[in-house]
Structure 1
Amino acid sequence: MSTVTELTRELVAIPSHDDETDAGDFIESWLRRETDAAITRDEVGNVIARRGSGEESLALVGHHDVVSPDDSQVEDGEYVVEERDGRLHGRGTADMKGAVAAAMCTFRDSEVPRTSKSRAQPDGADPTIELVFASFVGEEIGGEGARHAIDQGFAPDCAIVGEGSTGYSAAGVTDIAIAHKGRRASTITARGTAAHASEPEAGENAIYRAGEAVDTIRGMDGPSADVFGEDLEGSIVVTEIEGGSAWNVLPESCSVTVDERTVPGERAPLSRVENESTEWVVDQDLPPMACNDEAFAQRVLSAADGAQSGDPELVTKPHATDAGWLAEAGVTCVVCGPAEPGEAHTSEESVSLDVLDRCYDIYRGVASGGEN
């Protein structure tokens, strides 16, 4: 029987930065071999499996695409996977094939006799759930797989998204993230009138107009939100500027890029920069996430507490994940996974083997109602 470590190693060895097909094939084949679940593979490559039935559904959610590997993580065209010092090293170990493997093993091994939420049941009722496994494509390029699945009706009641939540409250502790920031990327373009730099009064300097927009942005406060007593602070900052064509020509166009880290229910008032000569365009808007059911968050926290010697906490997370798309669609979400801050997308990416097993215990504890 596959262990979480063995399955993680096999998944990580499959390149999936340019094309997720082979990794999706592996996941689908494993699920068909190891379970009797109803399994679908949609047209974009998402793998979704379902077991059991009930009034409520609990999904274990991950993604099997990765960012491009560092040169040190590839040898003869193959991904390098190494185990040393109690950790598995390689592209995708932390983000997030380790969590996918833990979810796959949980999906195979769990009994599902109880509801995933703490709702009261009628006398004599037999509270059961539908257990769902989902591994999406395209998370690293804006959640394309999750968005497609949602558009096609993917709507579990609750979801545990296996992105990193380890090491937030204390080193080595796997916490439960009840909220995370989103990201809105914008371009502000100011238009002017070109003229020779020796006669600046003959034109309108687009850089100056863009500078006025920058000053407006500098005066804005980042948004903030409170989720079950945890503070989530957003930010807004100009990150790029481009304009001008020559040292002796007044620029007729100047663009600035704005990075805004959003929080649930709030956005910076960027429309203030717009006028007859300045345009604001949103290039990307990855939604933030906030759990909308404290009872579910506490249920997952209880499972996390029982799976480790440390004291897990409800925390917030700075990075956008597919949980944002799910929460926007009405799914009750938390984030719980083995990756630690600073591991994802690095040349030294790795994951703790002990924490992989811990996440399996957490997921199974929630899926089985605490009966591991």
Structure 2
Amino acid sequence: MELDLSLPVAALTAQLVDVPSVSREEKRLADLVEAALAAVPHLKVDRDGDAVVARTSLGRAERVVLAGHLDTVPIADNLPSRLDADGLLWGCGTSDMKAGVAVQLKLAAELTEPNRDLTFVFYDAEEIASEFNGLGRLVERHPEWLAADFALLLEPTGGRVDGGCQGTLRFRVQTTGRRAHSARSWLGENAIHKAAPILDRLAAYQPRRVEIDGLVYPEGLNAVMIEGGHAGNVIPDSCAVTVNYRFSPDQSEEQALARMHEVFDGFEVVLTDSAPGALPGLSHPAAASFVEAIGTPPAAKEAWTDVARFTALGVPAVNYGPGEPTLAHTREENVEVAKIEEAERKLRAWLSS
């Protein structure tokens, strides 16, 4: 099989979707992407693991990165893809984010004289723990491949521009007790019962809504897991509530963690995972011209995305893609063909004018 970059963008999306690429199993799709781009004369193609980077070198005054991940969440009986009579393409990864990847591939193949130099980044393992993230690996090993004036991440946004992203912390709030036989519970100290005040604080917490450059970022603080207990007849001596804090990009990771220590004062707080947010970056001239070209008001990204990695490199970045974010990771995942075609048309016009 070969990817056919001459296909209409929706048909190319279907081709991509029909190549399973669950996280850590992207090699086959990465091979196909690399082979297809290597055949395009105006591109220089590099590869690191299952990440593929293709670049023009036309001496333009600006360089723009278009980036997207190749992996999907586990398949939920939703392959192969299917196109229905209403113009919806169904299947795992249609929205998140093989429609965006198809747009990247079409532009990479067909924009021989863009008004800006272009870098196309296709990377692996976005959907799992950040330690495996292919873009993060490129940042560490090949930051020069990602050097640019502006970056677009084609994550699903429903066809609007989403500026910046939330930061995220995951941490455990821990309690300890004393183990005993449950028939003589008074001899023990129940660590699970001690977790009740933790849940009370979570329920009482009032999340902030922070406005930055006209975009409103809602925060969220939620228990996502609770662990404790040894057996049905044992008073537990330990309990841990795992909490996810989605914080506005006006805070650093350190400031966000300090806030959580205040919220859970008196309890042991153990950080397990952390990623910074990203400011909107809409003041950059390239970002402003892009927002104007898309023609709809920008919004805040209500999630963490890899725009944060570009921001950390000093590259302003926004999210823009044809998929619908509320359908990502669902069994019913689909994308509107009209949205894919619109994204290709608008990006082509912006990069050709």
TM-score tier (shorter): 0.7 to 0.9
Given that residues 37 and 50 in structure 1 are in contact (C-alpha distance below 8 angstroms), is that contact kept between their aligned partners in structure 2?
A: yes
Cα drift, residue 111 of structure 1: 5.2
Given that residues 12 and 81 in structure 1 are in contact (C-alpha distance below 8 angstroms), is that contact kept between their aligned partners in structure 2?
A: no
Number of the residue aligned with 2:136:
147
Cα drift, residue 287 of structure 1: 3.3
1:165 to 157, 172, 175: 157
Do residues 253 (structure 1) and 243 (structure 2) align? no
Number of the residue aligned with 2:160:
175
TM-score, normalising length from structure 2? Answer: 0.86
CA distance in 1, matches of 2:56, 2:29: 22
Do residues 130 (structure 1) and 117 (structure 2) align? yes
Do residues 297 (structure 1) and 287 (structure 2) align? yes
Do residues 350 (structure 1) and 334 (structure 2) align? yes
Do residues 271 (structure 1) and 276 (structure 2) align? no
Do residues 64 (structure 1) and 70 (structure 2) align? yes
Given that residues 170 and 243 in structure 2 are in contact (C-alpha distance below 8 angstroms), is that contact kept between their aligned partners in structure 1?
A: yes
CA distance in 1, matches of 2:74, 2:43: 32
Cα drift, residue 211 of structure 1: 2.7
* Shift in alpha-carbon separation, 1:179–1:299, aligned structure 2, 3 A: same
* Shift in alpha-carbon separation, 1:211–1:282, aligned structure 2, 3 A: same
CA distance in 1, matches of 2:128, 2:147: 21
Number of the residue aligned with 1:106:
107
CA distance in 2, matches of 1:180, 1:264: 7
Superposition RMSD in Å:
2.3
Do residues 24 (structure 1) and 14 (structure 2) align? no
Cα drift, residue 142 of structure 1: 3.6
What are the within-5 Å matches in structure 2 for residues 233-252 of structure 1?
Answer: 233-246=218-231, 248-252=233-237
What are the within-5 Å matches in structure 2 for residues 162-241 of structure 1?
Answer: 162-166=154-158, 174-197=159-182, 202-241=187-226
TM-score, normalising length from structure 1? Answer: 0.82
For these two proteins, the number of residue pairs brought into alignment is 334
Given that residues 271 and 280 in structure 1 are in contact (C-alpha distance below 8 angstroms), is that contact kept between their aligned partners in structure 2?
A: yes
Cα drift, residue 93 of structure 1: 1.3
CA distance in 1, matches of 2:81, 2:147: 36
Number of the residue aligned with 1:156:
148
Given that residues 222 and 243 in structure 2 are in contact (C-alpha distance below 8 angstroms), is that contact kept between their aligned partners in structure 1?
A: yes
CA distance in 2, matches of 1:332, 1:111: 25
Cα drift, residue 208 of structure 1: 3.6
CA distance in 2, matches of 1:40, 1:220: 47
Given that residues 288 and 324 in structure 1 are in contact (C-alpha distance below 8 angstroms), is that contact kept between their aligned partners in structure 2?
A: yes
Cα drift, residue 286 of structure 1: 3.7
Cα drift, residue 199 of structure 1: 5.5
Cα drift, residue 216 of structure 1: 3.8
* SS of residue paired to 1:206: coil
CA distance in 1, matches of 2:155, 2:308: 12
Given that residues 176 and 297 in structure 1 are in contact (C-alpha distance below 8 angstroms), is that contact kept between their aligned partners in structure 2?
A: no
Number of the residue aligned with 1:328:
312
Instruction: Read off the aligned partner of 2:50 and give its amino acid letter.
Output: G
Given that residues 82 and 90 in structure 1 are in contact (C-alpha distance below 8 angstroms), is that contact kept between their aligned partners in structure 2?
A: no
- Gaps spanning 5+ residues in structure 1: where? 115-128, 167-173, 306-311
CA distance in 1, matches of 2:272, 2:27: 28
Cα drift, residue 228 of structure 1: 1.7
- Identity rate of aligned residues, in percent? 28
Given that residues 81 and 89 in structure 2 are in contact (C-alpha distance below 8 angstroms), is that contact kept between their aligned partners in structure 1?
A: no
CA distance in 1, matches of 2:280, 2:187: 56
Number of the residue aligned with 1:124:
none
Number of the residue aligned with 1:90:
91
* SS of residue paired to 1:342: helix
Cα drift, residue 232 of structure 1: 0.6
Cα drift, residue 363 of structure 1: 1.8
Number of the residue aligned with 2:3:
none
Q: Deviations over 1:212-250 (max 9, x none)?
A: 333344444324432321111111012322223345543
User: 150-159 or 350-359: which moved more?
Assistant: 150-159
Do residues 15 (structure 1) and 4 (structure 2) align? no
Cα drift, residue 274 of structure 1: 5.9
* Shift in alpha-carbon separation, 1:245–1:327, aligned structure 2, 3 A: same
CA distance in 2, matches of 1:209, 1:61: 46
CA distance in 1, matches of 2:9, 2:288: 25
* Shift in alpha-carbon separation, 1:239–1:9, aligned structure 2, 3 A: closer
* SS of residue paired to 2:108: helix
Given that residues 280 and 300 in structure 2 are in contact (C-alpha distance below 8 angstroms), is that contact kept between their aligned partners in structure 1?
A: no
Given that residues 186 and 284 in structure 1 are in contact (C-alpha distance below 8 angstroms), is that contact kept between their aligned partners in structure 2?
A: yes
